[in-house]
Amino acid sequence: MSDADNYEASTRGGKSDAQAEFEYEEKGLLGRIHSILHHSPALVPLIVLVLAVIVFGLLNANFWRVATLSLIFQQIGIVGILGIAQSLVILTAGIDLSVGAMAVLSSVIMGQFTFRYGIPPSAAIVIGLAAGTAMGALNGVLVAKLRIPPFITTLGTWQIFLAANYIYSANETIRSQELDAEAPVLKFWGSTFEVFDARVTYGVVLLLVLVAIMAYILRHTAWGRHVYAVGDDEEAAQLSGVNRSRQLIQVYALAGFFCAIAGWVMIGRFGSVSPSASTGQLGNIQAITAVVIGGISLFGGRGTIVGMFLGALIVGAFEMGLRLAGADAQWTYLLIGVLIIAAVAVDQWIRKASA
Amino acid sequence: MSDREPILKARNLVKRYGRVTAIDHADFDLYPGEILAVIGDNGAGKSSLIKAVSGAVVPDSGEIWLEGKKVTFYNPIEAREAGIETVYQTLAMSPALSIADNMFMGREIRREGFLGKYLRMLDKKKMEDFARQKLSDLGLMTIQNINQAVETLSGGQRQGVAVARAAAFGSKVIILDEPTAALGVKESRRVLELIMDVKSRGIPIILISHNMPHVFEVADRIHVHRLGKRLTVVDPKKCTMSDAVAYMTGAKDPDPSQQAA
């Protein structure tokens, strides 16, 4: 025994040998930027957004008008709410391809329950919200209990919900006049009020409120911290006392609930209940785009709802800015494609523990 | 020590996986205030034994007593609530979350009053203060940033935070699984000092390790596990490292004179 542990004696004692100190190390400029971004990844989309607003404003002064900015907010209303749902799921290191389909099916349920079965619209809304939550919970059970990868689960349920939506509605659209006459509450989020000679929809206010609520929950409640923990290291979270399955099912169910809210907002925004709304096909891609540009890591555990909101605003600002500048619409898609790749590249860099 | 009552005691534990018997009528005793090392060859079943007392594995038969009371754990959370904290070899920490977040994962403290009760707001300040206090108690804190992400810490610092977490909440028993396996010489040294520090607070420790010099340095008694059961418990002062390795591998039969009292 005597010889065997002597090799360690050389390291014993001495001032420098205090236990596992937390040292402060000198960092270069890049290192400092890295550690700031590492701590608040939402700064990247914020910087991009500010630059975009400045550049588009210089290209066309109309961009800076309150009316234009309010229009941008209106256009991201639905994507923003779907983005909240998508953010929750992606923070747990999952993905939800069915968000758009859940939104459309929920909106169709709200409309059809009112018009086909004569249920009071407010009750139909509650049923629609419950249906969205149930659809999300189904995703959650498949992911958490049967351990089917989220991508596959939601690729399947996306098709299932979308097909169910066409079958159930018989591809029938409920028109604006019918809604106005019998169920104006379904269109509530599309109604407007005046702020500084600009019209703002209640849907925009709802988006802001939902972003604030979810930002609070993720940051300041145990449930929110557990979302990050499950996404960061599932095994570790489980050993630390987080119930992984329950947490995942709750996250997917809540995502479904938010999609149903988005479905309600869609009715107001489009003025009709349409099973063939483009959201069913494109909603998931648009939401993932907002999430990724907003700096939420697809590997889970990193990013914020506020970042996603900024990501959605960036997409909205690019669409509007390029249109005002008279560019071909394809430029918008091209630039958003570039932004997505750049955002993930930046995320890879930020995720490294030290530069 | 035999006149004292063990704080954690197991008798006749059995765990089978199909035709493999991982724990074969094993006994186990941990006395108050001691460091008990558990050594054994790979596959001897020492980790199954430890998992049985920490709740990660439910034994097929056998009994476990904590402070003289019979207990049955169906998962690690139940063992943790009973006062048995385990520091896993993987450390079970979320790298992207802060030190404070990790220390309180699964047992967060909420604010008093309306904010906590209805808005479920966490009391971050209280948790940060507590975490800072616990780290400095163990001499682990030289800067203020308790909100640093765990991934920015070195291996030894992470081990330190994990041990501090266990010491902060483990009221009765702390289990350390290979705490020095992934560390360099200098960091291992710091972790061993930390283990002695925790011991001096009166919390008994079960130390699972392959590192004989470390085991012989800190352990009061050494539980030698072989072929799924306790072969002997030796006193490190009476036994040499090579004897211990010989018992562990079956090259030699235990010498009664080396047994721990």
Contact by Cβ (8 Å): A307, A40? no
Question: Which CATH number applies to A42-348: 1.20.1070, 1.10.3470, 3.30.70, 1.10.150?
Answer: 1.10.3470
Identify which has the larger pLDDT, B216 or B144: B216
Mutation choice for B interface testing from A2, A240, A244, A296 by most B CBs within 10 A: A240
Positive or negative, the CA dihedral B155, B159, B164, B169 is: positive
DSSP state of A17: G
Domain boundaries in chain A? 42-348
Residue by residue, DSSP assigns chain B as -TTSPPSEEEEEEEEEETTEEEEEEEEEEE-TT-EEEEEE-TTSSHHHHHHHHHTSS--SEEEEEETTEEE--SSHHHHHHTTEEEE-TTTT--TTSBHHHHHTTTSPPBPSHHHHHTS--B-HHHHHHHHHHHHHHTT--SSS-TTSBGGGS-HHHHHHHHHHHHHHH-SSEEEEESTTTT--HHHHHHHHHHHHHHHHTT--EEEE-S-HHHHHHH-SEEEEEETTEEEEEE-TTTS-HHHHHHHHHTSSPPPGGGB--
Q: Could A225 and B141 be called an inter-chain contact, meaning their C-beta atoms sit closer than 8 Å? A: no
pLDDT band at B3 (very low <50, low <70, confident <90, very high): low
Q: From CA B116, how far away is CA B131, in angstroms rounded?
A: 20
The size of chain B, in residues, is 261
- How much is the pLDDT for A224? 96
Q: Does B134 have pLDDT greater than 90?
A: no
Per-residue pLDDT of chain A (355 residues; tens, 9 = 90+): 444 444 444 444 433 444 444 444 556 778 888 878 777 778 889 999 999 999 999 998 888 888 888 899 999 999 999 999 999 999 999 999 999 999 999 999 999 999 999 999 999 999 999 999 999 999 999 999 999 999 999 999 999 999 999 999 998 999 999 988 888 899 999 998 888 777 889 999 999 999 999 999 999 999 999 999 999 999 889 888 889 999 999 999 999 999 999 999 999 999 999 999 989 889 999 999 999 999 999 999 999 999 999 999 999 999 999 989 888 889 888 998 998 999 888 888 877 765 3
A13: chain B residues, CB-CB within 8 Å: none
Phi and psi at residue A83, to the nearest 5°: -65, -35
Q: From CA B12, how far away is CA B3, in angstroms rounded?
A: 21
All domains of chain B in start order, with CATH:
8-96+149-258 (3.40.50.300), 97-147 (no CATH)
Q: Give the tokens for residue A129.
A: 């919200």
Facing residue for B142 by CB, picked from A5, A21, A223: A21
- CA–chain centroid gap for A317, Å, is 17
- Give every CB contact of residue B49 below 8 A, 6+ residues apart in sequence: B10, B13, B23, B26, B28, B38, B225
Q: Does B245 have pLDDT greater than 60?
A: yes
Q: Could A354 and B188 be called an inter-chain contact, meaning their C-beta atoms sit closer than 8 Å? A: no
Mutation choice for A interface testing from B94, B118, B123 by most A CBs within 10 A: B94
